[in-house]
Amino acid sequence: MLRKLALGGIRSRFRDYAVLFSGLVIASAVFYMFMALATNTKFLTSNSPIGMTPFIFGFGEVLLVIITMVYIVYANTFLMSMRQRDYAMFMMLGAKSRKIAQLIFIETVSVGFLASVVGVVIGMGLTGIAGNMLISMLHAPASHFAVVWPPALIATFGFFLLMFVLAAFVNAGRLLKTPMLELLHASTLPNRLQQKRWKLIVQGILAIVLLAIGYWSMTQLAKLQMAAIGIALITIVLGTYFLFNALLVWLIGLLKKNHAYAAKSLHTFTLSQLSFRIRDYTKILAVVAILFALALGAITVGLGFQNAIPELANTQSAYDATTIDANAATQKAAAELTGVTRKTRYTQKVTSKAVVFDQTQINARPLKFIAYDGKTSTHLSLKTNADLTKNMNEIASQLEQFRTPADAQRQIKIVPHAEYVALTGKTRNIVTYQVKDFAANYDAFDAMFKAQNKQFHVTNTQMSGQKMATYGLINEMFSGLAFMGFFLGIAFLAMLASTLMFKILSGASFDASRYLMLQKIGVRPGLLRRSVRHEIGALFAFPGVLGVIHVLFGLQLFTSMLHDPYHNIWIPFAIFIVLYGVYYALTVWLYEGIVIKKDLAK
């Protein structure tokens, strides 16, 4: 009988349950995706030599757990808002408390378990698709990467089942302790506006001070170390809550007093809708603003690390590749290069003590080097042996690309043409390459690099002076961080918009009576839809704007790791505006379907 009642409840509100179920599926899929990385220590250590990488992933894991817990709480609230009236009716008809508790437990755990199963299956597919796409894009070797990862399975099922079992007990306990009439009318009670102006002023000042401290701490990472993150986390979360609590109450009150605005169209009704549950909205908007900042920040930083790979590699060598007496394999790989902007040929002679260049050739085509001091890079064009000696500290490692391991003890020199002709020794052909896009030619450069290493028996590839070696090292350092940034961004984006959507939809069934009343007195459906769009638009816009501000300040944390963390920032912003807009449109569509009746006779 209990199973029939539970299934009947799901069938009667299938669309609402479909929204809840799909949201939980997304949550569990994203959770599995990240856990497949965070719990795979072999993957982390083999793809990034940075000692802090496990800590960074661990920090992201903690954030994801916290965010998922908040998400499940709001999803659970949505579930209870749909069913508490039905439970109250069952109790009025004589159902025992124990049976009601069992019914709540069955429904809550069943929804959570099924969502976890489907989510994990989808998560495996997404992990494989997204993982392979990012690995290919970042040229990461992805050693030990696994789509099906048992620790991630255990963590996902264990976490979601635990959360829903706890939620079931909490739901049952709360419902059984709540009076029946209060259950029937729980969501029709307003959270009234705070009328005491001095409290709003105090909260507003606190918000500004706390946010200022948080933003300042993020610019002081070098001095405060990890404490900067802790300070920012606490102050920005509290500051965000106080800001919304003070700003929204003040703004709604101000607009209501503006009769010219309030009397226009359905503005008074829209403002009343916002003020009806303002306290609940304050909490959720603060959560969504933080989630928005984390999501946008994660993807922005991920893109930043991806862009930093070629940028840093470009500061280490002026040439994209240099070949010495290229054999057939090297020439074949070089023929596949695209967008070649400069191809320069030299000859050199190898004596017992030196590797010698012809001054005449160098005069016509000076040797190119880059002097990098950690902040800025300077391009050098060197023509004489004196130039080499003068800049030896800056160019020593780059000179290695013009000699082989057998030349380790030979000095590189530039001598006059007559002296060069008189020298006896093996003559070698040197070719340097410069292209428009190094990453687009990655495979060709990699093949050239490996062919040259094999030809000259290079054992220490990092000392070859080639850009490919530097690119590979930087790629190993940053690819894991970029990988995590994308995954965290996806996770937080899915959570934040769904959380806000659940919160708005959880009160939709109780708002329906007010919209129905307006329809019955003759208000056009078009005006009602406009009111819905304005109301939900405001709820989406407030956290979005503050989240963007958080990100703009938060990127200061990465100035020591990224040359310009704000480079191409419009790309992640554009992605988020589009995806955020999709969630907004979906929420409006679902909300309108609940509150606006097409046929008033029904």
Tell me which of 461 and 517 has the higher pLDDT: 517
Q: Is the residue at 476 inside a domain?
A: no
User: 455 and 286 in contact (C-beta within 8 Å)?
Assistant: no
pLDDT of 281-296, one tens digit each? 777 788 788 877 878 8
Q: Identify the band that residue 47 occupies on the pLDDT scale cut at 50, 70 and 90.
A: low
Q: Which of 316, 318, 325, 376 is closest to 346 using CA atoms?
A: 325
Same domain as 394, residue 345: yes
Q: Identify the band that residue 391 occupies on the pLDDT scale cut at 50, 70 and 90.
A: confident
Confidence at residue 524, expressed as pLDDT on a 0 to 100 scale: 81
Give every CB contact of residue 261 below 8 A, 6+ residues apart in sequence.
Answer: 255, 267
Residue 430 has pLDDT above 70, yes or no: yes
Same domain as 274, residue 211: yes
Q: Identify the band that residue 538 occupies on the pLDDT scale cut at 50, 70 and 90.
A: confident
Instruction: Average the pLDDT over 411-421 and give the result.
Output: 90
Question: Against a cut of 0.85, is the pTM above it?
Answer: no
Same domain as 532, residue 567: yes
Handedness of CA 581, 585, 591, 595 (dihedral sign): positive
β-pairing verdict for 354-358 and 426-435: unpaired
Q: Is the residue at 473 inside a domain?
A: no
Same domain as 306, residue 352: no
Q: Identify the band that residue 361 occupies on the pLDDT scale cut at 50, 70 and 90.
A: very high
Q: Name the DSSP class of 289.
A: H
Instruction: Average the pLDDT over 144-164 and give the result.
Output: 85
The rounded distance, in Å, linking the Cα atoms of 562 and 304 is: 7
Instruction: Average the pLDDT over 477-489 and give the result.
Output: 73
Same domain as 185, residue 40: yes
Confidence at residue 343, expressed as pLDDT on a 0 to 100 scale: 92
Confidence at residue 189, expressed as pLDDT on a 0 to 100 scale: 53
In the block, residue with structure tokens 């908007």: 285
Residue 490 has pLDDT above 80, yes or no: no
Instruction: Average the pLDDT over 101-124 and give the result.
Output: 84
Q: Is the residue at 271 inside a domain?
A: yes
What's the Cα-to-Cα distance from 326 to each of 16, 335, 342, 424, rounded to whole Å?
67, 12, 17, 22
Same domain as 274, residue 307: yes
Tokens of 396: 């020593």
Task: Tell me the chain's radius of gyration from C-alpha atoms.
Answer: 32
Same domain as 284, residue 268: yes
In the block, residue with structure tokens 């800025």: 376
Q: Is the residue at 194 inside a domain?
A: no
Confidence at residue 376, expressed as pLDDT on a 0 to 100 scale: 74
Q: Which of 465, 494, 519 is the last residue of a domain?
A: 465
Same domain as 7, residue 129: yes
Q: Which of 599, 602, 597, 589 is closest to 514 using CA atoms?
A: 597
Q: Is the residue at 475 inside a domain?
A: no
The rounded distance, in Å, linking the Cα atoms of 111 and 554 is: 37
Q: Which of 189, 217, 236 is the last residue of a domain?
A: 189
Instruction: Average the pLDDT over 450-458 and give the result.
Output: 88
pLDDT, averaged across the chain: 78
Q: Identify the band that residue 142 occupies on the pLDDT scale cut at 50, 70 and 90.
A: low
Number of domains within the chain: 3
Same domain as 255, residue 222: yes
Instruction: Average the pLDDT over 4-27 and give the result.
Output: 67
Question: Percent of the chain, pLDDT > 90?
Answer: 7
Torsion of CA 307, 313, 316, 320, to 10 degrees: -130
Give every CB contact of residue 167 below 8 A, 6+ residues apart in sequence.
Answer: 72, 73, 76, 108, 112
Q: Which of 541, 75, 548 is closest to 285 using CA atoms?
A: 541
Q: Identify the band that residue 19 occupies on the pLDDT scale cut at 50, 70 and 90.
A: low
Q: Is the residue at 474 inside a domain?
A: no
Q: Identify the band that residue 431 occupies on the pLDDT scale cut at 50, 70 and 90.
A: very high
Q: Is the residue at 571 inside a domain?
A: yes
Residue 4 has pLDDT above 70, yes or no: no
Same domain as 217, residue 112: no
Confidence at residue 333, expressed as pLDDT on a 0 to 100 scale: 92
Same domain as 8, residue 110: yes
Q: Which domain holds residue 250?
A: 200-313+483-602
Q: Is the residue at 529 inside a domain?
A: yes
Instruction: Average the pLDDT over 46-64 and give the result.
Output: 63
Q: Which of 138, 166, 189 is the last residue of a domain?
A: 189
Same domain as 409, residue 287: no
